[in-house]
């Protein structure tokens, strides 16, 4: 987490229960050396505090917001209504609707208030961080190179996995995974 004036990404979660999920985003950002802030602010219960978090982030030269919310998931839309910067919404899994409620809330933004929406849950949290880094990487060649390296490693890992599968067959491959 950054304590300096310039911050790349501002992460806002709707409640403390979202922190376990956002830890996935934070790990990616730290791996890439990206500065970030992290705040808890509810779109419904702490509107003044939320607006202050947005203003503080903008005064820190933030480039992208990541807003993590479940259920009604108003947080990403409220953030987008208060800034002209890119906002990425991460829908939180829920016991009631498996995160579909949050997903539908985030993707149904009215025209003029765009929110980029990623997958529900852990994959979404990771993808939100990657997407935010890609947005920043448009103007940062060294960051862009790190992204290329990251994606090449993913590709190499899959090719290595396929090689092991072909060499050992499915039973032995799955046995190795269980260890």
Q: What is the mean pLDDT of the chain?
A: 95
* Residue 105: partners with Cβ closer than 8 Å, 6 or more residues away: 69, 71, 72, 73, 74, 77, 91
| Assigned domain for 99 exists | yes
Q: Do 62 and 133 fall within a single domain? A: yes
Looking at residue 95, its pLDDT comes to 84
**Mean pLDDT in residue range 92-119:** 94
For the question of whether the overall pTM of this predicted structure is more than 0.85, the answer is yes
DSSP 85-135: S-EEEEEPP-TTTTTHHHHHHHHTPPTT---EE--SSHHHHHHHHHHHHHH
Q: Do 15 and 74 fall within a single domain? A: yes
Q: Do 123 and 37 fall within a single domain? A: yes
Q: Do 21 and 92 fall within a single domain? A: yes
Give me the percent of the chain exceeding a pLDDT of 90.
Answer: 92
Q: Do 36 and 107 fall within a single domain? A: yes
| Assigned domain for 4 exists | no
Q: H or E stretch including 82?
A: helix 75-82
Instruction: Report how far residue 34's alpha carbon sits from residue 137's, in angstroms, rounded to the nearest whole number.
Output: 11
Our measurement of the distance from residue 153's CA atom to the centroid of its chain's CA atoms, rounded to an integer in Å, reads 20
> What are the backbone angles phi and psi of residue 40, rounded to the nearest 5°?
-105, 125
**Which CATH number characterizes residue 102's domain?**
3.40.50.1970
| Assigned domain for 3 exists | no
* Full residue range of the structural domain in which residue 171 is found: 141-179
pLDDT above 60: residue 4? no
Residue-wise pLDDT for 17-35, tens only, equals 999 999 999 999 999 999 9
Number of structural domains (the chain) is 2
Looking at residue 5, its pLDDT comes to 75
**Is 5 or 140 the better-scoring residue by pLDDT?**
140
| Assigned domain for 19 exists | yes
| Assigned domain for 2 exists | no
Looking at residue 1, its pLDDT comes to 60
Residue-wise pLDDT for 111-147, tens only, equals 999 999 999 999 999 999 999 999 999 999 999 999 9
Residue-wise pLDDT for 149-179, tens only, equals 999 999 999 999 999 999 999 999 999 888 8
Closest C-alpha to 122, from 13, 27, 51, 25: 25
Q: Do 63 and 147 fall within a single domain? A: no
């Amino acid at each position: 987490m950054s304590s300096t004036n310039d911050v790349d990404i501002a992460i806002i979660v709707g409640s403390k229960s979202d922190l376990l999920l956002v830890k996935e985003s934070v790990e990616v950002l730290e791996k890439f050396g990206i500065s970030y802030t992290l705040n808890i602010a509810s779109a419904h219960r702490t509107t003044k505090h939320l607006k202050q978090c947005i203003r503080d982030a903008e005064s820190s030269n933030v480039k992208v917001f990541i807003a993590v919310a479940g259920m009604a998931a108003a947080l990403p839309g409220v953030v987008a209504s208060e800034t002209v910067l890119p906002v990425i919404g991460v829908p939180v899994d829920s016991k009631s609707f498996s995160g579909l409620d949050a997903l539908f809330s985030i993707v149904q933004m009215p025209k003029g208030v765009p929110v980029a929406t990623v997958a529900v849950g852990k994959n979404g949290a990771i993808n939100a961080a990657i997407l935010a880094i890609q947005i920043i990487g448009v103007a940062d060649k060294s960051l862009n190179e790190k992204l290329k390296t990251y994606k090449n490693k993913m590709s190499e890992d899959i090719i290595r996995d396929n090689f092991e599968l072909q060499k050992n067959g499915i039973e032995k491959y799955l046995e190795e995974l269980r260890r």
